[in-house]
Structure 1
Amino acid sequence: MLTYTFHLLQWGGLLLFLLISALPQTSQGQDMIPGPVVQCPGHLSDTPIKILGSPRLKSSVVTAQFIVDYTGFSPQAQAAFQHAVDIWATALVSTVPIEIVAVMSDTLDLGILGSAGPTSSVANFEEAPQRDVFYPSALANALAERDLQPGKADIQAVFNGRLGNWYFGLDGTAPVDSYDFVTLVLHELAHGLGFIGSARLVGEEASLGNERRRSLIYDRFIENENGTALSNLPSPSAQLRQALESNQLFFAGVWATQANRSVSPRIYAPSPFDGSSSYSHWDESTFLFNNTNSLMTPFIRTGETIHEIGDVTSGLMRDIGWSVNSGGQVILSNFRVQRTSINDVGIRWATVAEADNRGFVVQRAFSEDDFVDIAFIAGRETETSPQVYQFTDVFQLKPAWYRLMQVNQNQSFVFTESIFVPATTVTNPLISPNPSGNPNEWAFNLGSDSNPEEQVEIQVVDGLGKVLIRLTSTLSDAQQILKAQQPHWLPGLYILQVRTATKNFSRRFIIL
């Protein structure tokens, strides 16, 4: 299985992609390629704003560890950076340390406060929720529950050491003529953690993702005013550029929308496109400077102090795949449901900490709201180290929704989100052309309506009854393996056998 990564370089206020997917880099069995950078401009203001964290956040359990490598920081600047890190450490959940390279530099333009982004973004690692989608390194590691690139930092952040009006205090009282450093670090770390997209200009057009149309997970949630996903528009194209400059882009994630009073939050999409601030921020005119969620608008003002992430931004993080610290007695992470075989559905989840946890009720529904209990898994009662739980729903062939109900010792409970698992859908395996003597024109198609993540069993037998291939894999991988193997087969008659959870198919084909 291939894993793709891409790099973004900062040049003259624009984001430039270096595509390296042609030469995969291998790290402990993973194929990697390297991630993006966003700049934050500063604005002068004569109105001080002060939004500090809630008492609940201040007392939350630390659920993620950050390791920071500082260069050029004074002790005061380092303390302010760490204060911002501590806020994020109680907001997100990860069992893998998040590594940051933080640099105080004299090379940034005076109008730029800082810039940041993931050092790399990874696709198609084993635990990735979606195929062919890039996840920023820290998020990918959290989902995989292991370091996919050992020895490499996850986030790069650069701050302007030429400015003389930084406020490094922790009390949220930045003067009206100074920039609050804690606020800026909170903002920049959000970009490194995944609040970042891959849109860029290509001549008179705009592009999204790399040349294979593989985009960041953030990109998958951006829609225009008609509800059309930008990832479905041609790329590169003038149509995509028009959308990026329309001032009508929205983040259509469920959790961000719910936090924004059931309205998809607006993305900053001015005309003309600004490579340093467009697309990867909330809209400045929607989230005004006295709003908690204005932390992630493109401009930070003097005297503006925001020491809280904001519910809408927290919802965005949850939408792109982060487990979020709810502040409850049991802190869940990485609730995943998927078909583990053609017959079975695997359910897996983890906890970072547990207090008075009676256990988990596994629930299933064949219609979205008709949940029934199918299992109970006892909890660890009180536990401070990470724990992993699993359950298999055997011989479950139908499409279904799954969720957990976590139950405390006092019988109070909370639900996770529900996750849908489709049924097997291989419909009509085709081999075309048949017969064929040209491997470049020949292809397997295991059903146009099929789910690419469906587990299938594949077998190819030659005319003498010899088994050439026998494998169990996802439908998408099986198709690629079959196509790669075909040029090695001699002319003759062959039989392709496909088995799903509910059906068996057999197709004859001839190689000339």
Structure 2
Amino acid sequence: MTHQLTRLSLICSLWCTGALADAVLSPVYNDGAVEGFNSFDPPHAASADDGNPGATLGEQRRWAFERALEYWARRLDSDVVIEVAAEMNNLSCNAFSAVLGSAGPNNVSRDWFPGADGTNPTFANTWYPIALANSIADRDLGPGSSDIGSQFNKNIDESDNCLGSNTWYYALGEAPPGTISFFATVLHEIGHGIGVTTFVDNASGSRLLDRDDVYMKFLEDHSTGKLWPEMDDTERMASAIDTSDLHWVGANVLAALGPLSDGISGGHAQMYAPNPLRGGSSVSHWDTAIEDSDNNHELMEPSATGSEKLLITGELLQDLGWNDVPANDCTFTSDRLSLSSFFSGDNTHNACVSVTYDGAVIIGGSTNATAGREVVLKNGFTVEQGATFGVNTDPDIGL
């Protein structure tokens, strides 16, 4: 059964300032002919200088948006195209803060899988975001409509009263001072669209049509020891504001907590549960305390930090049922090599996702490679003892 969500606000998130088969994420631009993603305004000079080839502002926006879709496509395994609708709209903004964007699934689905025979790791009578449901069912359960709806704040470019002189930055890499990374913002919002969200009304604790959703299956209130499906509405309402005690307890995330230096409590990862409740942000984000030893924050925290990485969101998606990067297929967890990355000695590294070095590659001397924005090593990549392998890439996008 598939259920269409009639109000994006039910599941939208607010992001505020302060060797698998790739999926295909396809953009659907819903702006008018000469606005938003179709604007003919002049391009941002800084973004163009840093590698965005768009000849107009609209082309620059589309280029950055599509690079973010490609990034998620490499992280996910789905034979069903994921359609992502996008608009540039007038969202809340003043001189000091702004809603950068919002997104979420346009539909949810349940009970589309054949019998609980142990071959399908899904929950019965449980809502799944449509893109994930399509991936597991291996067919389009909601034909005729896009799977994810997203919108982004055009006022950041077009109004002097929005964040002062700050503007969107439409290239990859770290956004320069006075700018906000559009690419990172799109990555964050699409993360909600593919599943980092609950369909519970956090203000009342009530479930969508009195059924669990897959995200809430892994939420625990550590002060009571109860999972969200075990709670009544009142208990869930209280848990949503139980700061530092609302935890994620999925097995894949718990196995990946080692690199984190903060945001862990009772062996679990903390979720965002401020008191008072923050509509659109509470529960469907990691706690702002999540951080690694290099002071990087999680991409899926509620506010832009400028130092975002996917620390444990890939594992959260695995807990939900996405066939993301399997931990046991990799001897290291990062799917990126930065410009300064070298391998030496007799270690063997197995690939986590796709690249662009086909087949077995054995480096026996001193070899360099050039591979666009990123290099991902395939199975069979080996560096012999004493050899070095240097990688030249485009500017590091920081994820």
CA distance 1:96–1:218, shift in 2 (3 Å): same
| C-alpha separation in 2, matches of 1:325 and 1:257 | 15
- 1:292·1:309 contact (CA, 8 Å) conserved in 2? no
| C-alpha separation in 2, matches of 1:322 and 1:4 | 18
Describe the SS at the equivalent of 2:156.
coil
Matched, 1:69 2:4: no
2:155 to 151, 162, 181: 162
| C-alpha separation in 1, matches of 2:62 and 2:227 | 40
| C-alpha separation in 1, matches of 2:4 and 2:170 | 36
Q: Any gaps of 5 or more consecutive residues in structure 1?
A: 17-35, 44-59, 330-351, 358-407, 411-512
- Report the equivalent of 1:220: 217
Tell me the CA shift for residue 115 of structure 1.
0.3
| C-alpha separation in 2, matches of 1:259 and 1:166 | 35
Describe the SS at the equivalent of 1:158.
strand
- Report the equivalent of 2:133: 140
- 2:88·2:153 contact (CA, 8 Å) conserved in 1? yes
CA distance 1:305–1:286, shift in 2 (3 Å): closer
Tell me the CA shift for residue 209 of structure 1.
1.6
- 2:101·2:151 contact (CA, 8 Å) conserved in 1? yes
Q: Please give the residue correspondences for 1:453-464 in structure 2 after superposition, counting only pairs within 5 Å.
A: none
- Report the equivalent of 2:84: 100
- 1:96·1:145 contact (CA, 8 Å) conserved in 2? yes
- Higher helix fraction (1 or 2): 2
Describe the SS at the equivalent of 1:5.
strand
Q: Please give the residue correspondences for 1:47-196 in structure 2 after superposition, counting only pairs within 5 Å.
A: 63-70=22-29, 71=31, 72-73=36-37, 74-110=58-94, 111-127=98-114, 129-164=122-157, 165-196=166-197
| C-alpha separation in 2, matches of 1:75 and 1:224 | 45
Q: Please give the residue correspondences for 1:25-424 in structure 2 after superposition, counting only pairs within 5 Å.
A: 36-43=11-18, 63-70=22-29, 71=31, 72-73=36-37, 74-110=58-94, 111-127=98-114, 129-164=122-157, 165-201=166-202, 206-212=204-210, 214-225=211-222, 226-235=224-233, 237=234, 239-247=235-243, 248-261=245-258, 263-287=267-291, 291-301=295-305, 304=306, 306=308, 308-310=309-311, 312-326=312-326
Tell me the CA shift for residue 123 of structure 1.
0.7
- 1:134·1:215 contact (CA, 8 Å) conserved in 2? yes
The aligned amino acid for 1:186 is L
Number of aligned residue pairs: give it: 287
Describe the SS at the equivalent of 1:40.
coil
TM-score (norm 1): 0.52
Q: Identical aligned pairs, as a percentage?
A: 28
- 2:85·2:149 contact (CA, 8 Å) conserved in 1? yes
Describe the SS at the equivalent of 1:95.
coil
Tell me the CA shift for residue 135 of structure 1.
0.7
Describe the SS at the equivalent of 1:186.
helix
Describe the SS at the equivalent of 2:317.
helix
- Report the equivalent of 2:348: none
Q: Any gaps of 5 or more consecutive residues in structure 2?
A: 38-57, 115-119, 158-165, 259-263, 331-353, 361-378, 382-399
| C-alpha separation in 1, matches of 2:315 and 2:140 | 25
| C-alpha separation in 1, matches of 2:123 and 2:295 | 33
| C-alpha separation in 2, matches of 1:84 and 1:173 | 14
Tell me the CA shift for residue 172 of structure 1.
1.3
| C-alpha separation in 2, matches of 1:409 and 1:290 | 30
TM-score (norm 2): 0.65
| C-alpha separation in 1, matches of 2:302 and 2:143 | 32
CA distance 1:295–1:65, shift in 2 (3 Å): same
CA-to-aligned-CA distance 1:276-311 (integer Å, 9 cap, x gap): 21000000023379655521110114xx154x533x
| C-alpha separation in 2, matches of 1:280 and 1:291 | 22
CA-to-aligned-CA distance 1:215-247 (integer Å, 9 cap, x gap): 221011000114310121112x2x322211111
- 1:77·1:168 contact (CA, 8 Å) conserved in 2? no
| C-alpha separation in 1, matches of 2:113 and 2:151 | 32
| C-alpha separation in 2, matches of 1:61 and 1:253 | 22
- 2:106·2:147 contact (CA, 8 Å) conserved in 1? yes
| C-alpha separation in 2, matches of 1:120 and 1:291 | 36
| C-alpha separation in 2, matches of 1:76 and 1:61 | 30
- 2:91·2:152 contact (CA, 8 Å) conserved in 1? no
